[in-house]
Amino acid sequence: MIGRLNHVAIAVPDLKAAAAQYADTLGAKVGAPQDEPDHGVTVVFIELPNTKIELLYPLGEASPINGFLEKNPAGGIHHICYEVDDILAARDRLKAQGARVLGSGEPKIGAHGKPVLFLHPKDFNGTLIELEQV
C-alpha cells in the first residue's frame, strides 16, 4: 500500500539557521520558505537524491509545532511521510485495521499541493506518519 519515502520532517526552533546549516554545512539544495496556514507551519524543503527533508517551523500561536518544540526545545524528527496511490483507499484500509487517522479523517491539501492524512503515532511505534497521495 505505501510507496516510497517522500520526506522526513524535522521541527526546528530557528528556520533560517536550520536552512543555512543544510545549505552551507551539508551543501544541500534548500528551497524557499513557504507558509502553510492550513497546517500551522512554515516549511522549507531540502532536496536529496533519493528523498526530501522538510524543516517545520510554527506559523502562529495555534501551530501544532509549538507543543512539539516545548517538549523538544532543540527540535527533532516530527514525522515521516510515505506516498500512496489512493489516499481514500489507504485511509479506509487503515481504519478497518484499527489505525487512527488524526483530525477529521478527511484529507487536507499538503505542502506539495496533494492530499495528505496523518496517522496516530501510538498506532505506529511512536512515529507520526503522514500519507501523501501521488
The amino acid occupying position 10 is I
| Coil, strand or helix at 16 | helix
**What's this model's pTM, rounded to 2 decimal places?**
0.94
Which band of pLDDT confidence, cut at 50, 70 and 90, is reported for residue 88? very high
Model confidence pLDDT, tens digit, residues 93-116: 999 999 999 999 999 999 999 999
Domain that holds residue 76: 5-133
Decide if 130 is catalytic: yes
What pLDDT does residue 117 have?
A: 97
Which position among 54, 83, 130, 132 bears the catalytic label? 130
Number of domains in the chain: 1
Q: Is the dihedral angle over the CA atoms 62, 65, 68, 74 positive or is it negative?
A: negative
Model pLDDT for residues 19-71, shown as the tens digit of each residue = 999 999 999 999 999 999 999 999 999 999 999 999 999 999 999 999 999 99
Distances (CA, A) of 40 to 25, 57, 118, 120: 28, 9, 14, 18
The CATH number for 95's domain is 3.10.180.10
